[in-house]
Chains A and B, each alone.
Chain A
Amino acid sequence: MNLPNVQFTEEQKQFRQEVRSFLKQHIEKGTFETRCDSWLSGSDPSFSKLVAEQGWIGMTWPKQYGGSERSTIDRYILTEEFLAYGAPVAAHWFADRQTGPLLLRFGTDYQKEFFLPKIVKGECFFAIGLSEPNSGSDLASVATRAEKVEGGWIVNGAKTWSSNAHDAHYMVTLIRTEPLGEKKHEGLSQFIIDLKGEGVTIAPIRYLTGEPHFNDVYLDNVFVPDEMVVGTLGNGWKQGLAELAFERSGPERILSTFPLLNEVIEQLKIKRDLAGLEEATKLVAELWSLRNLSIGVAKVLEEGGEVAVPAALVKSIGTKFEQKIPEIIRLLLDVYPNLQSDNRVERYLAESILHAPGFTIRGGTSEVLYGILAKGVIAQ
């Protein structure tokens, strides 16, 4: 696999500085506190509003829907800065990363005009409804079904592991719209379901940390009007796959535990611990090479190229790296992991340890990704 080698331009470097000073300013004002895994565990609708005011939600989207038509690389830079400073972006994350691009590609004019400007303003958040109870990694084993009625569909079933559904207004939901045939990938469609609507029950599932994080979403005779069908009926699986490339290759698969690494290096510098810094340097080298890879995929995505296999690569290696950081760090300093600690290293370490098992599971388990990669390599 060959990926382009991206060098940032002067304008892009300047943009990075702009984002960074915005974040530093808000850390100083106490708007938010840096934390690890902020993109999934740091949901703060009022912070999302501030981000929207900067024009930084849906920034690559067409101007007619409120976007600013900036490049994928600009968005990459923005995302990296959010993660490095551990900003609470989870509320608008899925709408910005997945729903927007999905609607731009497959949505009707009505859907684009209705949803995109609201997303851009930070007023409309989305959850993703792919997994189902007991389906595990087998995403195509969809049992949630829809029956056609006058003007729409009646949906029954359940979705699970929907991150942030408790904060979101809508959910893009994969649903069986034709009876299960021989091929379980066929006959699936994507619906937008109003999470505040009748028949929808959201039950939070608490994460290892005890916090609500993902959810069970029960759908009991939920009416979905025809205009909320995304793309082509029966084409849901293919549309969903296109979404996964966006989900797998971004900096969020590398930087979830970066605040910990950054803080520890600061501490080692203060202690003038050269041996500790040498160990930490190996992680920095790894981060550098992963970033190159991930930025390369972003560039190919921007040019509309095929990235399913390299995106799976970023996800599988990147998340292992995120997971490794706390395990190496704890051997470099005398530090006691504690979620309530005033000491940043202790707090970040605790967050990293408790969030780490999820990194190699959410968005495709490493084992499933290995299969995709090996098949991709054999096919070449």
Chain B
Amino acid sequence: MSEIKEMVVEVVEKIFKDKVEKETVDLLEENKWAEDIWQLLLENELHHVAVSEEDGGAGGDIEDLLALYELVGKYAAPVPYVEHTLANFLLQQVELKGYEQLTTYSITTPLQLKGDALFGTLKHVGWAQYAKKLVTMAQEGSQQFIVVADLQDAQLKNSTNLAAEPRSEVVFENLKALQKVPVSEKQYDVFKKFVTAASVSKMGGALTTAFQLSVQFSKEREQFGRPIHRFQLVQQHLASMAGEQTLMTVAVNNIRTLLAAGREEREVAYARLRMDDASRTVATSAHQVHAAIGVTHEHRLHQYTRRLWAWRDEEFTARYWKKQLAQQLLETKIDLWESITDQAETHVHA
């Protein structure tokens, strides 16, 4: 764990706690976002976390970034923090410099590359309508590249995800790649894991808040003359939410440590799969505990449950990783128990 982690986590948490109100998050529904919070993050150099000091960054590593992404989920922060920092982090992996201008990424579907020209369509690109640069993957023949494109010249069809976060379809027709660096299949796999770990971290944060809101509500809300947490059936919801929340907190910590140490094998995939179950259970139980008030726009709960529902279907989904894991099982000679208990020493940083 990096030394700066505790400090940056504290600073970011304070910013979100002070500035992210329910109303701030609601603004996304009107196509406005919290530019002032974004500026505050920039002023505090928080977009430079996990950028090396030689490159003008603040130091730190993927573990620190993922800890901050958890806070984005925990506060439903309406800013493109994950998109911008992760895009630049991916560039750093191939020794390219990051951008100060707002940058986003989309690496699920490679574009076609002909010379320096990009062709193809990317779907659900986060914050593309506000971003200037895009980090993505492209393919020429059998060679894959990480490329940077200028979003100003691309065709965008703007939309949102279930949580009203900006998502766009981006069409490339003979657009020039600003930079391109070839990457191996192995490197691309590692990128996929970083991106997946980011969404698992965000979801972990949102899940924690949905749970905490439910606990708080169950203490305050009285029915039939007593607080509702005294009812056994409500307790059952609280207990199962507590279980899922604790389970996922430990899982998220685990994949962060493994990724930072370059020792990840299958754990990000496991965490992603498990997160699907956890988010379903928590979202369902949280709404059940909150009852009618929880399904209104007026209450904060939806800012977290809508994010859980949206994020679980974005980027590399549980379905994607389920197929990957099944394929790996098929190809391996060792049995299941050996594969679960073997903590391989192979480094993921290719």
Chain A positions within 8 Å of B, measured between CB atoms, are 1-3, 5, 7-8, 13, 16, 80, 84, 258, 261-262, 265-266, 268-269, 272, 274, 277-278, 280-282, 284-293, 296, 310, 313, 316-317, 367, 369-371, 373-378, 380
Contacts and interface: CB of A to CB of B under 8 A. Distances in A.
Contacts of B113: none
Nearest to B229: A378
A281 B325 contact: yes
Nearest to A310: B246
B247 A317 contact: yes
Interface in B309-324: 322-323
B68 interface: no
B277 interface: yes
A374 B238 contact: yes
A180 B325 CA distance: 58
A5 B253 CA distance: 7
B250 A278 contact: no
A7 B232 contact: no
A1 B242 contact: yes
A292 B329 contact: no
A371 B237 CA distance: 10
Contact of A286 (B234, B274, B335): B274
A336 B77 CA distance: 52
A5 B250 contact: yes
A282 B232 contact: no
A262 B322 CA distance: 17
Contacts of B335: 262, 265-266
B143 interface: no
A186 to B, nearest CB: 25
Interface string B216-245: 001100000000010010111011101101
A287 B340 CA distance: 9
**Smallest CB-CB A-B distances: 10 pairs:** A374-B235, A285-B273, A373-B239, A277-B326, A370-B239, A285-B270, A288-B270, A278-B326, A281-B325, A374-B238
B235 A371 contact: yes
B7 interface: no
Interface of B: 215, 218-219, 229, 232, 234-236, 238-240, 242-243, 245-251, 253-254, 257-258, 267, 269-271, 273-274, 277, 322-323, 325-327, 329-330, 335-337, 340-341, 343
Contacts of A266: 335-336
Given A13-B343, A262-B335, A378-B218, A293 B229 contact: no
23 contacts: A2-B246, A3-B246, A13-B343, A266-B336, A269-B330, A278-B326, A281-B273, A281-B326, A284-B325, A286-B277, A289-B247, A289-B248, A289-B274, A292-B247, A292-B250, A310-B246, A316-B243, A317-B243, A370-B232, A370-B236, A373-B239, A373-B242, A374-B229
The listed residue with most A CB atoms (<10 A of its CB), out of B219, B234, B326, B330, is B326
A278 B274 contact: no
Contacts of B327: 274
Contacts of B240: 370
A202 to B, nearest CB: 36
Contact of A373 (B243, B250, B270): B243
Given A1-B242, A310-B246, A313-B242, A285 B341 contact: no
Nearest to A287: B340
A135 B183 CA distance: 66
A291 B218 CA distance: 30
Contacts of A376: 242
Contacts of A280: 326, 329
A371 B229 CA distance: 10
A1 B239 CA distance: 12
Given A262-B337, A288-B270, A378-B219, A281 B329 contact: yes
Nearest to B231: A374
A376 B236 CA distance: 13
B343 A84 contact: no
A278 B320 CA distance: 10
A272 to B, nearest CB: 6
The listed residue with most A CB atoms (<10 A of its CB), out of B250, B267, B269, B336, is B250
Nearest to B269: A285
Given A284-B336, A317-B247, A278 B323 contact: yes
Given A5-B250, A378-B238, 10 more contacts: A8-B343, A16-B341, A278-B326, A280-B329, A282-B273, A285-B325, A291-B340, A317-B243, A370-B236, A371-B232
A263 B327 CA distance: 17
A261 B246 CA distance: 25
B215 A290 contact: no
B236 A378 contact: no
Contacts of B243: 313, 316-317, 373
Contacts of A274: 323, 326-327, 330
A180 to B, nearest CB: 26
Nearest to A295: B250
A167 B234 CA distance: 42
Nearest to A85: B337
Nearest to A369: B239
A16 B342 CA distance: 10
A320 to B, nearest CB: 9
A323 to B, nearest CB: 15
Nearest to A84: B337
A80 B323 contact: no
A277 B329 contact: yes
Contacts of B218: 378
The listed residue with most B CB atoms (<10 A of its CB), out of A262, A272, A285, is A285
Contact of B274 (A3, A8, A285): A285
B250 A265 contact: no
Nearest to A374: B235
